[in-house]
Each structure stands twice: as C-alpha cells, then as structure tokens.
Structure 1
Amino acid sequence: MAISFEKLQTRAPELVNLAKKAQFNLSKHDLDGHAAKVALCLDHSGSMRASYASGQMQALAERVLALGTQLDDDGSIDVFFFGTEAWHAGELTLDDYRGGVDRLRAGRHLGLTDYAGAIRAVREHYGLAGPGATADVPVYVLFLTDGAPTHRTAATNELRDASGSPVFWKFLSIGDEDIPFLQKLDDLSDRVVDNADYQPVGDLTLVQDQALFDLLLVEYPEWLAEVRGRGILR
C-alpha cells in the first residue's frame, strides 16, 4: 500500500510532488495498488566521482524514494553500491534521506565496476539467491552505472541465474555514450524470463521527473505478468 500524500506532507514535504508524479505514471501503466520492494544500486567506480560530488546521485535517490513511497508503505528503499566489491549500505528513509547517499557511502573508496557482485548482493539481501526462489512481493531494482563491468562473463552469468527470481532489473546508464554491454544484457538469451530492461539517459539533470518515471516502468508490467504466470511471484 502506498504512503498517503498527507503523511508525506508531514514527514517529507519535499517529496510530495515527486510522489504524485510517480503515482501518475504508475496509474498510466495500470499499476494502481501494486506493491513492491524498491532497491537502488549505484555504481561506485572512480569515474562516478563527479556524479556524486555534484549531487546527481542524491537527486536520483530522492526520485527513487518517491517512487518507493507509492509501492511500499514502509517509507524506505534499500541502497546498494558496487565498485571493486558490492555491498548493501542500508536504507534511505523518509526521516533521513537528506544527504543520505553520501552518508551511506562514507569511508568507502571508489573502485572498479563489479556488476556481478551487485546482482548477487541484491539477491542475497532479499533471500532470493537460490534456485526456485519465489516471493509474494517482487523486488524492483534501479541499477545505475556509467560504464561496462570489469568482468563481463560474470555479470552475464549472474543476470541469467537471477532470471528465475522475482527481481526486476532496470539498468540506467549516464554519460555521453550508450553502453552496448547493457543492451546485450537486455537482449540476453537463455533466461527463465526477460528480467531486465536497459535505458540510456545521458545527463540525468536534463531528464524531467515524468519522463524518468516513465522510463523506469518500461517493460516492468510485462515482466510482472510473466513471473506471475510462472509462479515465481505468488
């Protein structure tokens, strides 16, 4: 159940307009009343330094948290980072989201680009790493990066292994050029279901809120129908 706009006005008034835009797009995709856990998985490689310093990642996290309030009434999203290693950093909540991205990554060095570790960390956190994993509520993961992974075969294998889990992967890339490897993951064969979509967004600061929420929901309703039909989502 979504958090009401009235409660948001009390706890996080700066997010109300974002949440209304998110709800509008959920309705447009026939997802009124839909429940999901929402996770944000952020590239923590060296090339991302400016994106953190400029506040772009914090702004993205606030947009994702606003979406999360309309999919889950606990008022939080899980945040993961991946560099040379991947880790679950904690939650971003309505009460502590301001400056939350930098707080959650404090003391960590920027590193490489471990997609495989990130995919594995998310599945393990939600208890969905084993074969035949099912759930009553799906996990929606926004996975943002500015480059291809350090270990491509490992990333491919992890996404393929995850295809029978109730986890949807929305890959976004920032930067001047698209990332062909992410398109390969989007089109990957030999999966239980098509569990991912890739959208290159370039400069996030130029993407309007409504347009971003629209991109975030591309292919998600179709994935939901497929995992329900296969019994992966109960």
Structure 2
Amino acid sequence: MKELIKGQKISLNKDLSLSDFVVALKYENNSNYDLDISVMMLSEKGKLEEEDDFIFYNNPNSLDGSIKITGSANSFENNISVNTNKIQNNISRLMFVMTINDGDKLNQRLENVKNISICLINNGQQVLEYKINDLVKETAVILMEIYKHNTEWKIQATGNGFNSGLDAILKNYGSDKVNIKDETKLESKSVILEQKEVKPEEIKLEKIPKGSIDFVKKHKSRIDLVKKYVKDMGIESQKSQVIVVMDISASMSSLFNKGIVQDTFDRVLPLAMQFDDDGVIDVWLFDSKSIRSKTPYTTENREDFVKKEILQKHRLGGGTDYAKPINAIVKEYKNSENNNLPLFILFFTDGNCFDKSETEKAMIDASDYPIFWKFIGMGGNKPKPKDIVTNEKKGFLSKFKPSFDFSTGFDFLEKLDNLSGRKVDNANFLHIYNLDDISDEDLYQGLLEELPSWLIEIKKLNMIN
C-alpha cells in the first residue's frame, strides 16, 4: 500500500493502474459534528461550471455516472465510487471536500475531528492512504484531488484547509454563472451557494434519504405535507420516537414481494423526521415471536432496507401474535433513560392474531405509559363504494372507516381501538386496502388521527411534561 504525504502526486494510470475504484474516508468524530462530504467536478479553467457537477448526498450521482456517493461501509465513514473512464471530456479535476455544517456559526473546528485519512480501495483492498493531521481552526478542507494531465489521470494529496467553510471553497472555485440550488431542501428557504453572496450559515445540507431524484422530490413534498398537518393539529413542536412494527408471518409474502412493505417504510419516513430529528425508525418484526431489528431504517439505508435487513435475515412464516411485540416494546421503554418522551408506534399487519386475550391485556398494561399504538390493517376486505360514503364522518376518513354493515376483515384491531379498561385511549385503527390507491394527504391524516387528543390526555395525567 502506498502512503502519500501532503503535496505528493502520483499517476493513477501508471503507478496504480486504476480507473474504477472507491475513495474512502476514515475519521474519529467524537464531537459528533455534522460533517458533509462532497465532490466538485471542475472544468479545465479550474471552475465549477454546472450545478450538476457539485456532488453531495442530496445530489449523490454525477450525470455521466463517473461519481457516486454510496455512504458508509466496512470501517470507512464515507465511500465514493469513481470511474475515470466515464468522466465527461469537459471535466479535468475532481476535488474531494469535507466541511463542518455550520462550523463557523457553532464554533466547531476540524482540529476536533481526529485521524482523518482518505484512501483508495480497489476490489476491496486498500491501495493508497493519505493522512491529514495538521488541521486546526479550519471548518472545511480539500482532502484530495484527481486531475487530468495530458492523457492520464493523477492524484494529489492536497489537505488544504479553509476557515470559512464551503463558502471559502466556492469563492475560489465557483463560476460566476453557477448558482448551485438545492431543489430538495427540507426547510422553506432555498439553499443557494453563490460565489459572492453565500454565507456559511446559509449552507445546511439536510438529512435527505438516498434514492432517485423522483423519490427525493416526493419525499420533500411529503415532509411539507406532514409539517402542514401537525401544525394544523397544534403538535408541530412535539417530539416523539417513531417505531414501526411489521408483521412477517407467511401471509405477508405477497406484500413483501410486490414492494409494498418497502413503500410503506418510505412513506412513513416523513413522520419519523417530523417527530424525531435524526429520522431514524426503530423496527420490530413479529410472527409467533417478537424480533427487534438490530439495524434501524434510516435515510442512509432505506433503498435496500427491506431486502437486506428483513428478507435476507428473517424467514417469513409462523403464526401471528400481537402481544409479544407489544410487551417487548413496553418493557424496553420502561427500562429506557428517555422514558419521558412519548412513543408513536405504527403497527402493520395483514390479519388478525392468535393471542387475542393476551393482546387485550398487553394493551391495557401499555396504557400506563405514553405509548400510542396506530394499528394498520393492510389488505383485508375491499371497501364497497356504497358503504364508504355512509359513515357519519365526512372527508378522508370515510375512505378508511367502513359503515356498520361492512367488515374490513380486521374486527379485532377495531376492537382494540375501543377496548375498555385502559387508563387512556392509547390506540387507533386504520384500514388500508391498497397503499397505492391512497394519496399522501389521506395517508398522513389517517395515521395522525387521534394522536393530538391522546397527547392532551397523557399530559393531563402527567405521563409526559
């Protein structure tokens, strides 16, 4: 393995024989700074000429397919796939950058990010490393550069730090005509990284889920929708942990195979990001037993979560027992140091359970704690048009709440919604016959139904502050 020192240059083609490889970063972020990694694709003039040539986690893939930010893997914090054969002709330099988000505003400096190193990985083997250990008050650093020299690509160990974050780098390498605008920003104000006008505090790269441009746009729209509804309900400042409980009994196979379960996770993510800033969803699975997933669903792993963390690790089968995951979650909550924060449970199943009496007792016991259970019946009986409109409730709820003479197929879940003996009404039932047929507006209003009134009740009972 080659070790570079600051300023050293070697040929990717001649010295390493590389064209398709991974650039990987290691560092110790014990201060838990919000670190952003980006790649600037510069023209022969040494300038960022196009908005699409600024690659970061909100725009993780270059248009030519040469650069792809793939997230963490193995012992590395960040991985970036590079294929120099695919780099478009007008690009002559790749600049790999690390910045502390809001570093100047928060007085956070790179001297507190220890043991920074940038490596090249070829077929799983580390072939090159450059260690950066001379940063002090900087809030941004150009780690390394890959540049074209005549007909070959070379690599340079740069390590140049900047005291004014990304703003300083853009002032040096941005183009007058470029106005980098983050179209998928979650905050209401847009993010504009202009060469002359940008201020460091304006640059805040939000936690955007990985995925296609179309998915990210949908996610932004859903975030805005959730924000609107929780504001209308008066609970926009309420924080809560969101947990998904997913049925993995054999009858769920069709929903998994059709991608409906994956879509379900994706569509509830905006709720998690509203109530819990880190956008992490803890996941529990159940059939005749209860299983806590060791890996939560996050913005980073969402694309393959169901495949890798559920289908490849757990066999679909067994019975359907509700009480076991309910009791397990309550037990964990009781032992948690953060048990003054309410839990919002989204409990998905496609059929009634085998342990009804145990489940009723579990729900009564759970009512002693600030845990709200939204039971979602997936599939079941198809609503009949004539039944849908007869419910006394108007609007979107009529799509989910059947009239008295129509059965959803989830009689027991409906019973839990009205179960007597509880300290507080801690449950609500929602029937979703076909997820694809439900608009985001109807889905989020349905998922949030009764949550505001429950929060009022548990505060009256001093179950939370």
Query: What is the TM-score of this pair, normalised by structure 2?
Result: 0.47
Higher helix share: 1
Cross-structure match for 1:73: 277
Given that 1:43 and 1:81 are in contact with CA atoms closer than 8 Å, whether structure 2 keeps it comes out as yes
Unaligned runs of 5+ in 1: none
Moved more, 186-195 or 108-117: 108-117
1:40 aligns to 2:247 (yes or no): no
Cross-structure match for 1:228: 459
Cross-structure match for 2:306: 101
Structure 1 runs (4+) deviating above 6 angstroms are 10-13
Given that 1:42 and 1:143 are in contact with CA atoms closer than 8 Å, whether structure 2 keeps it comes out as yes
- The alpha-carbon distance between structure 1 residues 164 and 128, as it changes in their structure 2 partners (threshold 3 A), is farther
Per-residue deviation, 1:103: 1.9
| SS of structure 2 residue aligned to 1:112 | coil
Per-residue deviation, 1:194: 0.5
| SS of structure 1 residue aligned to 2:455 | helix
1:82 aligns to 2:286 (yes or no): yes
1:184 aligns to 2:415 (yes or no): yes
- The alpha-carbon distance between structure 1 residues 153 and 59, as it changes in their structure 2 partners (threshold 3 A), is same
Determine which of 49, 53, 59 is the counterpart of 2:257: 53
1:7 aligns to 2:206 (yes or no): yes
Determine which of 149, 169, 175 is the counterpart of 2:373: 169
Q: Residues 157-192 of structure 1, C-alpha deviation per residue, up to 9 Å, x if partnerless?
A: 111110111100000101132211011111100111
State the superposition RMSD in angstroms: 2.1
Moved more, 103-112 or 82-91: 103-112
- The alpha-carbon distance between structure 1 residues 96 and 170, as it changes in their structure 2 partners (threshold 3 A), is same
Q: Residues 96-133 of structure 1, C-alpha deviation per residue, up to 9 Å, x if partnerless?
A: 1112122221231222111001111222333369xxx9
Determine which of 268, 274, 287 is the counterpart of 1:64: 268
The AA in structure 2 aligned to 1:52 is F
Cross-structure match for 1:136: 340
Given that 2:210 and 2:301 are in contact with CA atoms closer than 8 Å, whether structure 1 keeps it comes out as no
Determine which of 324, 327, 332 is the counterpart of 1:117: 324
Distance in 2 of aligned mates of 1:10 and 1:100: 12
Distance in 2 of aligned mates of 1:205 and 1:148: 22
Q: Residues 57-89 of structure 1, C-alpha deviation per residue, up to 9 Å, x if partnerless?
A: 111111111211111111211111111211111
Moved more, 54-63 or 3-12: 3-12
Distance in 1 of aligned mates of 2:380 and 2:298: 31
Distance in 1 of aligned mates of 2:428 and 2:330: 17
Per-residue deviation, 1:217: 0.7
Determine which of 18, 25, 31 is the counterpart of 2:222: 18
Distance in 2 of aligned mates of 1:136 and 1:4: 28
Moved more, 19-28 or 181-190: 19-28
Given that 2:222 and 2:440 are in contact with CA atoms closer than 8 Å, whether structure 1 keeps it comes out as yes
1:211 aligns to 2:447 (yes or no): no
Higher strand share: 2
Distance in 2 of aligned mates of 1:172 and 1:9: 26
Given that 1:88 and 1:125 are in contact with CA atoms closer than 8 Å, whether structure 2 keeps it comes out as no
Distance in 2 of aligned mates of 1:10 and 1:67: 13
Structure having greater relative contact order (Cα 8 Å, sep ≥ 6): 1
Distance in 2 of aligned mates of 1:109 and 1:44: 8
| SS of structure 2 residue aligned to 1:143 | strand
- The alpha-carbon distance between structure 1 residues 103 and 10, as it changes in their structure 2 partners (threshold 3 A), is closer
